[in-house]
């Protein structure tokens, strides 16, 4: 059993803690929520001001610091020509930044990098643009699914860059073929009949 003295000491300590917390809270500036949930745009970060559009030529021959494809180049080697990391200094590497995306499902998409901007697709219909040097989130896009949708496999396979656009496949409620397939047949496809008779 707790004796009266221990009980009173505990009550006094809790009261002092509550007074201290309320005093600290009163000293903090109050956050005023704007009437609109729409964020007010601030100045454009320098890394976005210097963003270079991704052309077909750059996709074929990416600059050393860029990673445009799943394995960096069309040949799929996954080789980085950067020379800063060597067998002599690799043991001294240390993390500079890390972040949590807010998603617990498996992250399967590789980050894609263009001129210091890293694009990361995550499970749950989310895409992040991150300043690769600092880890600062430049912007975030998250497409919410309707409440009655059960997304059984919420992973995402990544993003694609072309010109000044970022392409991102997000899960939708609609079923059927993708919209781009419904406009016309691809010119390189043959029907089964013609391919089986062609020699």
Both tokens of 167, joined, read 């392409």
For residue 62, what pLDDT is reported?
A: 93
User: How many C-beta neighbours within 10 Å does residue 104 have?
Assistant: 10
Residue 165: strand pairing partners: 162
In sign, the C-alpha dihedral spanning 78, 79, 81, 84 is positive
22-31, 77-86, 89-98, 109-118, range with the lowest pLDDT: 22-31
Q: Looking at residues 41-65, what average pLDDT do you find?
A: 89
**Given pLDDT bands bounded at 50, 70 and 90, which one contains residue 180?**
very low
With 90 as the cut, is the pLDDT of residue 154 above it?
Answer: no
Beta carbons of 40 and 34 less than 8 angstroms apart:
yes
Identify which has the larger pLDDT, 23 or 10.
Answer: 10
Identify which has the larger pLDDT, 192 or 90.
Answer: 90
Q: How many helices (H) and strands (E) does the chain have?
A: 5, 6
For residue 35, what pLDDT is reported?
A: 45
For residue 40, what pLDDT is reported?
A: 59
**Given pLDDT bands bounded at 50, 70 and 90, which one contains residue 15?**
low
Q: Looking at residues 107-123, what average pLDDT do you find?
A: 90
Q: Are strands 126-131 and 137-142 parallel, antiparallel or unpaired?
A: antiparallel
pTM metric for this prediction: 0.64
Question: Domain 45-77+104-199 classified CATH 3.40.50.2300?
Answer: no
Residue-range domain boundaries for the chain: 45-77+104-199
Both tokens of 186, joined, read 């691809």
For residue 133, what pLDDT is reported?
A: 92
- Report d(CA 39, CA 16) in Å as an integer: 39
Q: What b/e sequence results for 129-164 when a residue is b if at least 16 CB atoms lie within 10 Å of its CB, and e otherwise? A: bbbbeeeeebeeeeeeeeeeeeeeebbbebbbbeee
Mean per-residue pLDDT over the chain, rounded: 73
Nearest C-alpha neighbor of 44 from the set 168, 143, 131: 131
- Report d(CA 113, CA 120) in Å as an integer: 9
Identify which has the larger pLDDT, 106 or 88.
Answer: 88
């Amino acid at each position: 059993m707790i004796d009266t003295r221990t009980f009173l000491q505990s009550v006094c300590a809790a009261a002092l803690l509550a007074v201290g917390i309320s005093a600290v809270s009163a000293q903090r500036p109050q956050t005023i929520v704007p009437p609109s949930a729409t964020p007010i745009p601030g100045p454009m970060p320098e890394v976005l001001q210097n963003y270079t559009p991704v052309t077909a030529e750059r996709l074929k021959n990416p600059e050393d610091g860029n990673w445009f494809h799943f394995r960096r180049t069309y040949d799929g080697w996954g080789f980085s020509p950067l020379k800063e990391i060597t067998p002599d200094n690799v043991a001294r590497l240390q993390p500079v930044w890390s972040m949590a995306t807010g998603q617990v499902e498996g992250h399967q998409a590789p980050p894609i990098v263009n001129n210091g901007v890293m694009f990361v697709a995550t499970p749950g219909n989310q895409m992040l643009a991150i300043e690769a040097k600092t880890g600062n989130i430049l912007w975030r896009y998250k497409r919410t699914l309707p409440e009655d949708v059960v997304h059984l496999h919420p992973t995402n396979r990544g993003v694609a860059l072309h010109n000044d656009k970022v392409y991102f496949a997000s899960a939708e409620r609609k079923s059927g073929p993708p919209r781009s397939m419904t406009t016309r047949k691809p010119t390189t496809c043959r029907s089964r009949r013609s391919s089986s008779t062609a020699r």
